[in-house]
Amino acid sequence: MTGTEFVTQIFIVVLCGLLSGVVAAKLKIPNPILLMISGALLSTVFINTERVFYFSYQSLANISTLCLIMVTFIASTKLKFRETDTYSDHAWKILAIFFVLSSLFLVATEIAMTTGNIILAAIFSLLVIGVGTREDVFQPHDKRNRVYEIMKRETAFNSPFIIIASIIFISLLQLKLNLAGTFLGQLMPLALYLLTGAACGIAIGLLMLRIFRKLPQGKASTLILLAFALLDYAIADSLGGSGIISVAITGFMIGNFIRLGRRLDEPSTAMIAKVAEIIVFLFIGAYIPTALSLGFLMRSMAVFAVIMALRFAAVVLSFYREKYSAKEKAILILNYYPGLASAAVVFFLFNLQLADGTRFIMLDGARPFLDLWLMVLWQSAILAIAFKAIVKKEIVN
């Protein structure tokens, strides 16, 4: 790919992102869905038998890794344990119960629906609990209402959690380990891989905190912090550790221990998150086609029904004896949409190359895994749009 071709491709990505954002805002529908549709349409455009929208595998792998770094860092900086309140407690309860129920029931369901790969089933069960707050669908009059606050906190808490937990299982794939091997034989390589990444994250985090103590009070540039995060990933990866774990720990340290009187530059943070959203969902739509066979659609609907049943149970159990109305609980139940963190992990997996050179997509069960996640995403979007029509664009009055 020449320099001109690369610039043209980037221009297409930016243009599609801007246009889909405008249209989504007008129609009040999830922007990621329009991005995926745009990507799917772009993949069908050819000029002289050549795809107009094309990136090499190596370029896709680099882009997906960069997006996962961006999403991981931004998500981990928002995980602040010092800022706890009643809404945070409710959000943690929903996340914990949803995770336990998903681990108990959804893993078995996903294994039965695909080829039986327990690691992929575990990753899938993690990705489907990574919900995002759909502000473009659920619009409260008062941004401080309690349902909206719980939704925001659930998204903030589950994003770094599902990324880190997914990376641990992905490490099993990368290191060619399996859950049936001897305990110590499997534990040592994995522990070394994760601990090396964690050590790098702590070291870089301490260095960044020390540097920012020397700077004047005010906003800490998110772009500068992100540059350190990229360096963090590169160092951890070169030392044989998990770069994503390293970035997550660094982001957590920055978010929780940055000196009082200094805060992250929110406009820059929002811009980075928006860029990542455009790239991730547009490329997923362009490069990961959705399976449309009748049999698979029926299986995916069954899986989605199980997910919603687990979501229902998680919310009901979380608010047992709490004075929340049926409408508020219904909103929290139906606020189900795999968010940016989940999508970034899927995009990363699609382009992942294992230690022996095998691509993830070539593994047994990988294709059904991706197809099932995509169908859950589409069905959750349809549910969100339908619910928006029912509540007439309001969360609570």
The structural domains of the chain, with segments of one domain joined by +, span 3-391
**Please, are residues 331 and 147 in contact by the beta-carbon 8 Å criterion?**
yes
The string of pLDDT tens digits covering residues 330-345 is: 888 887 777 888 999 9
Predicted pLDDT of residue 369: 84
The DSSP-derived string for 333-395 is HH---B-HHHHHHHHHHHT-B-TTS-BGGGSTTHHHHHHHHHHHHHHHHHHHHHHHHHHTT-S
Between these two residues, 333 and 200, which has the higher pLDDT value? 200
**Please, are residues 194 and 241 in contact by the beta-carbon 8 Å criterion?**
yes
Predicted pLDDT of residue 133: 60
Tokens encoding 226: 């992100």
Residue listed under structure tokens 């390589």: 189
Q: Tell me the percentage of the chain whose pLDDT exceeds 70.
A: 83
Encoded amino acid at 311, one letter: R
Tokens encoding 31: 């922007």
Between these two residues, 42 and 107, which has the higher pLDDT value? 42
Predicted pLDDT of residue 207: 87
Euclidean distance between CA atoms 246 and 228, whole angstroms = 11
Lowest mean pLDDT among 1-10, 28-37, 186-195, 314-323: 1-10
Euclidean distance between CA atoms 79 and 77, whole angstroms = 6
- Among 135, 66, 45, which Cα is nearest to 278's? 66
The string of pLDDT tens digits covering residues 344-369 is: 999 999 988 877 777 888 888 788 88
Predicted pLDDT of residue 247: 93
Residues shown for the chain: 397
Regarding the domain delimited by 3-391, which CATH topology (the fold level of the hierarchy) does it fall under? Na+/H+ antiporter like fold (1.20.1530)
Predicted pLDDT of residue 338: 79
Euclidean distance between CA atoms 232 and 240, whole angstroms = 13
For strands 218-220 and 262-264, give the pairing: parallel
- Among 293, 211, 222, which Cα is nearest to 255's? 222
Tokens encoding 64: 């997906």
Predicted pLDDT of residue 112: 64
Predicted pLDDT of residue 269: 74
Predicted pLDDT of residue 263: 59
**What mean pLDDT do residues 88-102 have?**
87
Predicted pLDDT of residue 68: 93
Quote the mean pLDDT of the chain.
80
pLDDT of 249 above 90? yes
